[in-house]
Structure 1
Amino acid sequence: MPFTIRPLTRPALAGIAIAALVSLTACSAPQLDANLTAASSSASPSSAAQFSEGEVNIQMTIENNTKSPLTLSWSGLSGDGAHWDSRPQATLGAGASEVLTGYTHFHLTDLAMQVNYETASGDLAQFHVTANGNQNVNSTTGTGVTLDNGGTATDLTIDATVNQPTGFYDYAVASMVLQPVS
C-alpha cells in the first residue's frame, strides 16, 4: 500500500495548538523557563563564572572591605528581556561579598547591571557593569563612590575590573572591591 502525506486541516492544526497551549500552561513559570533554557544552545563558558544560558550575561562580585555594613539603596538590570539570577542583598556586611548574576536571551542587546549601596557615613557606592551583546566592549563606567552631597568621596574607593571568558564576547565577569583609600 503506498504511503501518502495528507495536508493538515484547520481542525487538526487547532488541536495541535490547543495541546501545545495546555502543555505550556501546565508548567509553572520556573519550569517553563528551565524547559526553554534546556532547549536553547548548550554552549556555556568554560570558566568558574556562574552564568545562565542567556545570550548576554553578567556576573558581578561585590566585596565590602570596609568596617561597616552597606545598605542597598537601589538595584537595576537593563536590556531587552533582562532577568536576574541572583539579586543583591538588602545589607552587605562588613568584610562580606556577594555574587550577582543577570542575563538576557537577546543576542544583540546590551545588558547593564547597577547596584547602589549606602555606606555608614551616607555616601553612595555605585557598582555598574555593562556587557555589550554586539561587540567586544564591556565596561565598569559609572562605578564609584559619591558623597551624600554629590561630590566625589575621598575616603572610600572601588577597585573595579571586568573581564571576558575566552571566546565569549557577550559575557562580562566583574569584580568590585569597596575599600578605604590607602
Structure 2
Amino acid sequence: MIDSNKILNISSSQEFEKYSIKIFNYQFEKNIIYREFCRLTGKNPSNIRSSFEIPFLPIQFFKTHKIISSNQPIKKTFYSSGSTKNNLSKHHIIDLKLYEDCFLKIFVNFYGSPSQYNIIALLPTYLENKNSSLIYMVNKLIEKSENKHSEFYLDNYKKLKEKLLYLEEGDKKTILFGVSYALLNLIDF
C-alpha cells in the first residue's frame, strides 16, 4: 500500500515521478481491468520509466467496467453528467476521506483556504444529479468556507447577480463555479 500522506505532500518533480511509478505499479497489480488494458497496449511495470509513459484508461471503460483497485467496500459512486441518463461513467470511491483530502489539498495549494472565499456555484444540471462528483466537491468547499454567502444557485439569475454585486463590495474574494451555458445565461440576464 502507498502512504497517501506522502502523495498529498509531494513537493518536487522527482517525488512526483517516483510516486507516479509506484501508483502505476499498484494499479497494475491490484486492478484487473487496468492490468489487462496495459497488457493489450504492451505496457507493464518493466517498461514504464516515467509518468509520461503511463497509459490512461479510455473513459468508455468507466461506462462498461467496474474500475476499482481494492476489495474494500465502495463508500460512494459518482456518475458522469452524460447527455443521456443511460450508461453513465461511474467513479467508485472506497475512501471518502482520502478523496476529500485530495481535492481540498489541491484547492488549498492553488487558492488558499476555502475560508478566504465566498464560494458560489451555478451548476443547474449538475445539481439535479445527486451523485455528481463536482457537486460533492463544491459542496465540501462551501462547507469549508464557513461562510453564510457561500451557496448553490439553481436558476435564479436575478438573485445570483444581486448576490455577486453585493459580494463585490465586501472584503472577501468570490469564486464562482459554473457551467458555460449557465454562465452565459447569467451574463445575458
Q: TM-score, normalised by structure 1?
A: 0.26
Larger Rg: 1
Q: TM-score, normalised by structure 2?
A: 0.25
Higher relative CO (Cα under 8 Å, sequence separation at least 6) belongs to: 1
Q: Which structure shows the higher strand fraction?
A: 1
Q: Which structure shows the higher helix fraction?
A: 2
